[in-house]
Amino acid sequence: MNSRALLRFESGFTLVLMCLALYLVTGLTLPLSRGEAMYALVPAEMLAAGRFFLTTLNGVPYLEKPPLLYWLNLLAFKVLGVSDWAARVPTSLITAAEVWLVFRLGLLLLNPRAAWLGGFVLLSSVGFFYLHLELFTDHLITLALLAALYCLVRWLRKPRLAWALSFHLALVAGYLSKGLIGLGFPLVIGALYGLMRRQARVWRLVLHPGGLALLAALLVPWFAATEAAHPGFLWHHFVDEHLIRLLGERQPGGVSMISLPLFWLFLAVWLMPWAVLLPEALYRYGKEVLGARAGGGVGEGSLLMLWPVVVLVVFSLSSSRIEYYSLPALPPLALILGWRLDRYLASPRDSGLAVALLVLGIACLGAVLFVPFLEKLCAGNRREFVGLFALVAPIAKRVSILVPPLALLGALRGRGRPRVALAAYAAVALALVFFTFQALTALAPVRSDKAQGEYVFFHARPGDVAVMESIEEFELGACFAFYARRPILMVQRRGLPRFVYPVPPEQSYLIFPTRLRELWQGPGRVFLLADDVQPLEPWLAEARVVLAQGGKRLLVNGP
C-alpha cells in the first residue's frame, strides 16, 4: 500500500471509528421502540425454534419482510445472547459500513477531502443519527444501493469479474432486505446513468452471466425454502406485498402513510443542520457537473444527482410512504454537501458558510416554536405522535438557548476563515446530535413497552396470560412480547389490528373484547397492558394497576 492509499485508508478509518463511537455508545443504551421491536422478536423466535427460514412474529408466521436483517440479528443473538442491545449491534455495523462506502464512493467521484467531508456530513446529520438508532430494513437497502453503485462505477472504469459479482451480490442483499424495491433502485439508477453517459457497458454488467448465476444461486433457494416453511409465501410475497401494494389496494392500508409535503419536510429534517446548505450546493453542483459535457454525455458525478432524484420521485409517487423512506437518498446528498464544503475551504473569500451559520443560529432560536408545529403535522398522519412532542419541549428550549450563540459566534469568527466556520458548523451538528439523543432518551418510556414487558417476565407464572389493548397494527405489539419473553394476545376493536394474510383461527392471537372479559373473569391470572387514552371497560374500573408509565397502565386481575 503506497503512502497515498494509506492516507486514504486512515481518513476513512477515522470516519468509521467516529461512527462506531457515536452510534454504539448511544444506541446500546436505548430500549427497543414499538416500531422496531419486530426486528428483534422475529429472530429471537427463529433462534428459539432452531429454524433458519421459519419467520414468526408472536408465534404466528410473518411474511411481510425478507429475512436479511432477521438473519443478522439472529447471528448477533447467537453470539451475544438475546437482548435489545445485541439487536442493535448489526445496525451499528451497517451504519459504519454506509459511512465507509460513502467515503469510498466520494474518492471515486470527487476528491479525498470532499469524500471525507461527505462522510462526516452523513454521520453527523440529525436524521441519519436518529434513524440509525432504530432497527429498520431501510438501512440495509441504503447499504446495498451504495455497494451496487460503487461497483457500477468501478466496472465502468475497468470491467472485472470481481466488480460484476459484487454488483449482483449487492442486488441480492437489496432484495433480501426489502424485496423488489431493493433490487429495483440500483437497476433503475444504473440504467438511467448508463443512458445519460451513453455507456452501453452498463448492460454488460447487469446481464453478466456470472452475476446472474450468482443472483439465481442465492435467491432461488431462499424462495424454495421459505415456500416449503410457509406454503403460500410466494403468492403473498409477489402478489400481496408487491403488486397489490403498488396499486395502493393492500389492506389494511394507509395506517402509517404520511402526506407528501410532510415526506419532503422530513427529508430536510433528516439532513439538519447541513440541510441549510443543500439548495445552494445542489444548484452549484448541478451547474458544474451536468454542465460539463464530454463526448456528448455527462460526467461521472452526475450519478450523485440522478440517485436521489430516482429515490425521491419513486416514493413521492408511491401510494404508501413513511417519513424515513427518503433514507436511501441521504448518501448522495451528503456527498454533494461534502463537495460544497470542500469548495468553501478552497475559497476563503466565499462567505456562504458563515451566512449559513447565521441562518442556522437564527433558526435554532425558534426551536421551541417549531416543536408544536411539527407535532401538529405528524399527529395529523399518525396517532402515535400525539403528546410525544411535549416531552421534548424542554430539550428544544435548551437548543434555542445553547446552540444559537455557538452558531452566531462561528459566523462572526468564520467570516473569511472557512476552516473556523466549518469547525463551528461541525460543533453545531454534533451538539444537535447530542440533543437528539437526549430527546430519544426522554421519549423512550413512551415509545417502548420495555418496563411493562419486563414486569410480566419477572412476575408472570406459567399459564398466565398477557394481553395488549388499543393497538392499530399487530407489529406494534412486538415490543411488549419481546421483553415479556412470551407470546401475547391482542384485543381487536373496530377491525384493528388485522392480518394482511390468512391466519388459521387456532394460531391467531387476536381476540375480541368479549373474550378478554372471559379471560379476565376466569380463574387464570391476566396481565393487561392498556392505553391511558382508551377508556376502560366498566368491569375493569376496579382493576389493580401494577405499573403505570409512558401513557400506559399494566393491570392484573389477581394477586
Place of cell 441549510: 276
Q: What is the pLDDT of residue 499?
A: 86
Task: Tell me the C-alpha distance between 168 and 446, whole Å.
Answer: 42
Q: What is the pLDDT of residue 229?
A: 82
Q: What is the pLDDT of residue 5?
A: 57
- For residue 510, what are the β-bridge partners? 490
Determine the 3-state secondary structure of 544 from DSSP.
strand
b/e per residue 405-437 (b: at least 16 CB within 10 A): ebbbebbeebbeebebbbebbbbbbbbbbbbbb
Q: What is the pLDDT of residue 91?
A: 95
Give me the count of residues in the chain.
559
Start-to-end C-alpha separation, the chain: 69
Task: Tell me the C-alpha distance between 515 and 33, whole Å.
Answer: 28
**Residue 239 DSSP label:** I
Bridge-based pairing of strands 526-531 and 552-556 is: antiparallel
**Residues in contact with 377: Cβ distance below 8 Å, sequence separation at least 6, in sequence order:** 262, 265
Q: What is the pLDDT of residue 368?
A: 61
Nearest to 553 by CA among 444, 440, 470: 470
Place of cell 410532510: 262
Q: What is the pLDDT of residue 141?
A: 95
- Please give the C-alpha separations between residue 326 and each of 121, 312, 335, 437, in angstroms, as whole numbers: 16, 6, 16, 21
Place of cell 383461527: 505
Amino acid present at 404: P
Task: Tell me the C-alpha distance between 88 and 76, whole Å.
Answer: 9
Q: Which three cell numbers stand for residue 48?
A: 428459539
Q: Alpha carbon 141 to chain centroid distance?
A: 9
Determine the 3-state secondary structure of 489 from DSSP.
strand
Are 30 and 441 within 8 A, CB to CB? yes
> Cis omega before residue 273 (within 30°)?
yes
Q: What is the dihedral of CA 196, 197, 200, 206, to 10 degrees?
A: -70
Q: What is the pLDDT of residue 179?
A: 87
Task: Tell me the C-alpha distance between 225 and 232, whole Å.
Answer: 12
- Please give the C-alpha separations between residue 144 and each of 135, 148, 151, 172, in angstroms, as whole numbers: 16, 6, 11, 8
Query: pLDDT truncated to tens, each residue of the chain (559 aa)?
Result: 455 654 565 678 899 999 999 998 888 889 999 989 999 999 999 999 998 888 899 999 888 889 999 999 999 999 999 999 999 999 999 999 999 999 999 999 999 999 999 999 999 999 999 999 999 999 999 999 999 999 999 999 999 999 999 999 999 999 999 888 899 999 999 999 988 888 888 899 999 999 999 999 999 999 998 888 888 888 877 776 766 665 555 555 444 577 888 889 889 999 999 999 999 999 999 888 876 554 455 678 899 999 999 999 998 887 778 888 999 999 999 999 999 999 999 888 888 888 889 988 888 877 666 666 565 555 544 455 555 667 777 888 888 888 889 988 988 888 888 899 999 999 999 999 999 999 899 888 888 999 999 999 999 999 999 999 988 889 999 999 999 999 999 999 988 898 877 888 888 999 999 999 999 999 999 999 998 878 888 888 888 999 998 889 999 997 7
Q: Which three cell numbers stand for residue 551?
A: 401513557
Task: Tell me the C-alpha distance between 110 and 218, whole Å.
Answer: 34
| H-state helical runs in 198-240 | 201-206, 209-229, 233-235
Task: Tell me the C-alpha distance between 127 and 272, whole Å.
Answer: 7
Determine the 3-state secondary structure of 18 from DSSP.
helix
Backbone angles phi, psi at 256, to 5 degrees: -110, 0
Are 90 and 67 within 8 A, CB to CB? no
CB neighbours of residue 501 within 10 Å = 16
Task: Tell me the C-alpha distance between 59 and 488, whole Å.
Answer: 9
Are 434 and 127 within 8 A, CB to CB? no
Backbone angles phi, psi at 10, to 5 degrees: -65, -35
Nearest to 510 by CA among 548, 461, 473, 556: 473
Q: What is the pLDDT of residue 477?
A: 93
Nearest to 268 by CA among 390, 342, 377, 344: 377
**Residue 556 DSSP label:** E
**Residue 293 DSSP label:** E
Are 123 and 129 within 8 A, CB to CB? yes
